[in-house]
Every structure is written in C-alpha cells, then in structure tokens.
Structure 1
Amino acid sequence: MSRARREESSTRLLAALARRQHGVFSRDQAVGAGLSSSQIWRRVQDGQLERAQPGVYRIAALRRTWHQDVMARVLWAGGGAVASHRTAAALWRFDGFDRGPAEVSVPLVRQGGRGVHRFARLSSADATIVEGIPVTTPARTVIDLAGMVSEARVEAALESALRAGLTSVGQVHRRLDGPGGRGRRGRGALRELLAQRQPGAPTDSLLETLFVQALRNAGLPEPARQHQVFAGDRLIARLDLAYPERRLFIELDGWAAHGGQEAFVADRRRQNHLVAMGWQPLRFTWDDVTSGLPAAVDVVRAALAA
C-alpha cells in the first residue's frame, strides 16, 4: 500500500473514532490509527485540527460543544480517567447541576490539578459510559458529590437519580460500604441523609425536593412523597406530598404543572373528589417556594396545628 493510501486509511479510521468521541482524539489514538507526529503537526498547521488539551486534538470543522470539552479533558487525563463529581452530575442530568468546567477523576498515581480528583481505586462497578464519555455511575456520583457540595444539593441529586431510575437507595448504600466509599469525605453526612429519608417514592421534581427540605429545616414532620389515594381498588390520586394521618396534602405547581386545559380540568376534578373524601388541599407555586418559602412553610405549620 502506498504512503498516500496508508494516510487516507488512517484518516478514515481517525474520523470514525472522532465521531464516537464528540470530535476529539488523543495523540496516542492518532498514532495508533497510523498517523505520524509530522502528519498530525501538518494538519494543525493547515487548520484541519486544533489543540483541545495538551496531547488532544479536535476536528476544526466541527462545532465546539460542552460534551466535546468534557471528552477532551478525559482523554487528556489518560487511561482510566472518567468524568466525575459535578460534571458527572450534569451528564446524568441531576437536578441543580448545570454544565460547567470539566471535572475528571484519575488513578492516585497520576498528578492532580485544577478539576482533577484522584482515587485510590475505581471499581468497574463505579464507571460506565454516557453519551460516549467515560463517567462515574449515578451511585458513585452521588457519593462523590457528598464530599464537595451541600447536603441540600446532594439530596436533590439523589432524588433526581432515583426518579429517573438510575440508581436505588440500596445501591448507594452498597457502593458507600464498598472499597470506593470507605473513608471518603462526606460519607457520614450521606449515610445520615439516607437514614432520615422517608421510604417510598422519590420526589417528582426539584420543586418538591426544595419544599421537603424547607419543611424539615423548619422542624415540621416530613411528609410522604407521591402518596397514593384509593377509593376501593381504584386509584384516585397520587399526591405530591401528604400527611395521610391528618388528611392533608400539598400540591406544588411548576410552570408546566398541568400541561393544557384538559389536564387542568382533570386536576380540579381530582381535587374536588379528594375534598369530598375529607382531604384538605394546600397548593403552592414555584414563586411560593423560591421567593416566599417562609410564608408557605407557616401555612403548612398552621394546617398541621389546626
């Protein structure tokens, strides 16, 4: 095979790899595909490639994305590296975690740096692939977050992971007690959070999580989440939050709570049915929770005391 044919074949291999990696690849991968250092350098000089990280290149014609930046950071960090902590939370779309500077975890023998966390051991059970990017699993991500963000943010992450079916309370416990969880910063706080969590379904939204936290911080009893109400064998309603023994329920309405006129009408009929069964409703909006939280909590306190 001629030199030109070999280079063309290497280019195709590298392009296919880059497509799977959000448009980036490492120098080692390029060499492995058959390109020489001089060929890589020439493509940088010609503007076909750009340096994304030391030893990592992006295809210049492709639009730069956050996923590309994260993948480039993982490739820069080397074998065994994974996206982790807040970056992993954003990849998993946990509540309250937006896309930001890439954070990665690397084996302990590697050098650290800004946005680089080191681990003594990362079990295969703690790592996976999301959207083509090596990343910590949801359970491991929650454990990692417990060592660096507030308990409220950890709880929001946990509830959204449970809601999406990405993990379970039991799985988080098992990973917390495993080699990767022992001795980790925030382990005690996470264990306490899991212990105080009411059994049953997760909250249905970040709004509900915030309200549960507010009730707890105010010293009020923690309500049941997604409580089901039946009339005989027929399911009448699934309530956002409820105090069943007091026949008191709380509905939290986000901006898209009803999804149209038909859903709005059905919701009001459902509420009337519940009232006829002896339930007392309390309804709060996003603004009530984010701007008038103390007043909303006082309303619940008064209703429980009545």
Structure 2
Amino acid sequence: MSRMPAPLPPSLPSPFLVSELTDAGAPAGRLRRADLARLERGVYACRDTEVHDPWTALGLPAPPHHRAPGHLRALLRAHPAAVLSHETAAHLHGIPFPAGHGQAAHDRSTWVHLTFPAGSPRTRRPEVVAHRCQLPEAQVTHVHGLRVTTLERTWVDLCSLGHPWLLDALVAAGDHCVKRPWTGFGRAPALASVDSLRSTVESLRKYKGKGAALQALEHVRVGADSAPETEMRLALIDAGLGEPSLQHPIDPTDPWSPEADAAYEDIKTALQYDGWHHRSREQQARDASRDRYCQERG
C-alpha cells in the first residue's frame, strides 16, 4: 500500500512553481506524487482542484491560449520582469478578436505573449511568444491582478502583428478602446480616447506597426458598442452611403430618447445591430418599444 502524499505547504499558491515548492521546505521528489499535475516546465497544480471556468467569473470568454488566470500568474512569478502583452493583454482588456482567430492548426496566435525588457536573456517556453522592448512604466498596468500592458499600448502592439489583425479588426479594436460602455443607467466614461491612442503611437520611434496604427486611427470612432457595429459602419461607408452618426438620439429634444446604433439624420433612417443578447424576451420588448418610438417620429 502506497503512503498518502505529504500535504502541500498551506502558503503554496495554485498553480505553483517548483522553486516555490522547494522554498516552502518540501522536497523536489514531492512533484512525482500522483496528486500533482505538470502544467508546463516548472509549473504544477493539484489534480483535485475544483474544475470550473475561471474566465466566466471574470466576465471574459475563454482565451485562445487556454491557460487559466492562476497559470498566467505563475508565469509572471517565474518571470518577474515580464508583462503580459499583445493578444494576451487584449483578451484581458476585453478587446474583440478577429473572426476565426486562432482556428488554424499550429497557430502561434493561440500562444501567450510576454514582453521582457530590452536586452533580457532569451526565454524558451512552449507556446509562449517572447517580445523584447523597453516598456515605459506608464504603459504597464494590472487587470484582474495580472501585470499587463495598458489598453492603449495593447492596441498599438496589436497593430504590429499583421494577419489576422488587418484594418477592419484594428478599427474594431480601437472602437472598443474609446467606447463609452452602457451601464443600464447611462454611458460610463471611456477608458481611452483617440488622442491617447495616437499619442502612444507617436511616442514610439521605431515601431513595425506604426503605419497600420495611423491608418486605423483615421477610422476609429466613439459610439460603436461592439465589433459587429463597427463592421456595419465600415460596410456602409465602403458601399458609398457615407458615414452614419453613432448612438444617435432619435429625438434630440427628449432627454429619455432611445438611441440608434447608427443613423442618417438627413434621410431619417436609423439602423440597429441586434446581437445575441437581443434574444431575451425582456430585450425584445425594449426593442419593440424603441421601434415604435422611431416610427411615431417618422
């Protein structure tokens, strides 16, 4: 009969690094017991940890890299000088990804992106993309307890990646950065502005994606609540219909007037993009009330 494995030190985080286990006084041989699972080189976790989706609890979809928040924290503890960046930071900031992102076999876009200080030694980890540059402290923040690039710097980094981050995807990502989210009681302040995105771009002298970023900025607008709304606007412009106004009040004289996602005021035409959340009965009732309000005003 095999002996029960010795309990892990109570101070040990989960997942944990091998160095954290040994620093807590446990022998390295403890890693060979069946109650532990190796997540990747130097990172372990308990097998009997309750299985759930930690990203749902944070209000985020599952990321392309398939690592849990605790796993990312362990990677950052293993590399104290590193910062989560590019697409990994974009997911944490809630930036919408291009359609079909990460679906190709052996797609590096499903890897974790870490940015290290310029001149750092090379780091080799499975499914980790290592970038090296000198990040100003003002371009580093924390999201959900994880060290990441700021919203503006993350968008600028996306502009350097190329396919599938092409013009429309970069505009949708930029629209997300500058939007004023609807809270149910009005619009919250935007987390970024077109000017703050532009100043971040211009602060970088040698930058691979500068041309793409400046081109995308010409099309970024405040008022798109989702990537499909951005795509709708760009499609209207591409069709030669001109640029609609966004989040347009149906009756500007009424402080309680509902808004149109996009509108051409000169021809009294309102356009709405009804995403998945419009399937609920409550939302459909609000949509019907909004439509009647529009029709009563021509």
Is the contact made by 1:82 and 1:106 (CA closer than 8 Å) also made in structure 2? yes
Paired residues of 2:245 and 2:263 also in contact (CA < 8 A)? yes
1:55 and 1:166 mapped to 2: Cα distance?
36
Write the distance in 2 (CA, Å) between the matches of 1:195 and 1:151. Answer: 11
Q: Which residue of 2 aligns with 1:67?
A: 69
| SS at 1:203 equivalent | coil
Give me the TM-score of the superposition, normalised by structure 2.
0.73
CA displacement at 1:144 relative to structure 2: 0.6
What is the TM-score normalised by the length of structure 1?
0.71
Q: CA deviation at 1:194?
A: 1.5
Contact 2:35 2:48 in 1 (8 A): yes
Please identify which structure carries the higher helix content.
1
Q: C-alpha displacement at 1:43, in angstroms? A: 1.8
> Which structure 2 segments of 5+ residues have no match?
1-5, 53-66, 103-109, 182-189
* Letter aligned with residue 90 of structure 2: A
Pairing partner for 1:154 from 167, 170, 174:
170
Query: Alignment identity in percent?
Result: 25
> Partner of 1:106 in structure 2?
116
Higher strand share: 1
- Equivalent residue, structure 2, for 1:138: 151
Query: Separation in 1 of the partners of 2:87 and 2:297?
Result: 41
Query: Could you say what secondary structure the match of 2:192 adopts?
Result: coil
Deviation string, structure 1 residues 79-138 (Cα, Å, up to 9, x no partner)? 221222112111222222678432222223231555323232112222222223222221
Partner of 1:192, secondary structure, is helix
The corresponding residue for 1:205 is 226
Q: Distance in 2 between matches of 1:236 and 1:184?
A: 44
Q: Cα RMSD (Å) of the superposition?
A: 2.8
Instruction: Answer whether contact 1:110 1:118 (CA < 8 A) is retained.
Output: no
Q: After superposition, what is the alpha-carbon deviation per residue over 1:233-274, rounded to whole angstroms, capped at 9, x for unaligned? A: 534231111122333322222233374253133122212133
Runs ≥4 in structure 1, deviation > 4 angstroms? none
Distance 1:111 1:152, change over 3 A: same
1:189 corresponds to which residue? Answer: 212
User: Quick one: distance in 2 between partners of 1:167 and 1:29?
Assistant: 38
Q: Structure 1 residue 82 and structure 2 residue 69: aligned?
A: no
* Other-structure match for 1:230: 251
Task: Note if 1:241 corresponds to 2:242.
Answer: no
Gaps of 5+ in 1: 1-6, 276-306
Partner of 1:281: none
**1:106–1:119: 8 Å Cα contact kept in structure 2?**
yes
Q: Which moved more, 1:59-68 or 1:163-172?
A: 59-68
Report the alpha carbon displacement of residue 44 of structure 1 after superposing the two structures with TM: 0.6
Q: What per-residue deviation string (whole Å, max 9, x for no partner) do you get for residues 5-35 of structure 1?
A: xx98x91222xxx1xxxx2233344455x33
- Aligned amino acid, residue 257 of structure 1: H
Q: Does 1:57 align with 2:44?
A: yes
How much does 1:189 deviate? Answer: 1.7
Contact 2:115 2:133 in 1 (8 A): no
* Superposed CA offset, 1:145-184 (max 9, x none): 0011212222222222333433222222222222xx3322
Which residue number in structure 1 is paired with residue 60 of structure 2? none
Larger CA Rg, structure 1 vs 2:
1
Q: Is the 8 A contact 1:227 1:240 kept in 2?
A: yes
How far did residue 186 of structure 1 move? 1.3
Letter in 1 for 2:177: A
Provide the secondary structure at the position in 2 that maps to 1:241: strand
Counterpart of 2:135? 122
- Contact 1:227 / 1:241 at 8 angstroms: preserved in 2? yes
Instruction: Decide whether aligned partners of structure 1 residues 112 and 150 sit closer, same or farther in structure 2, where only a CA change above 3 A counts.
Output: farther
User: Does the CA-based 8 Å contact 1:169-1:194 persist in structure 2?
Assistant: yes
Instruction: Please give the alpha-carbon distance, in whole angstroms, between the structure 1 residues aligned to 2:158 and 2:149.
Output: 11
Distance 1:85 1:59, change over 3 A: same
User: 2:113·2:131 contact (CA, 8 Å) conserved in 1?
Assistant: no
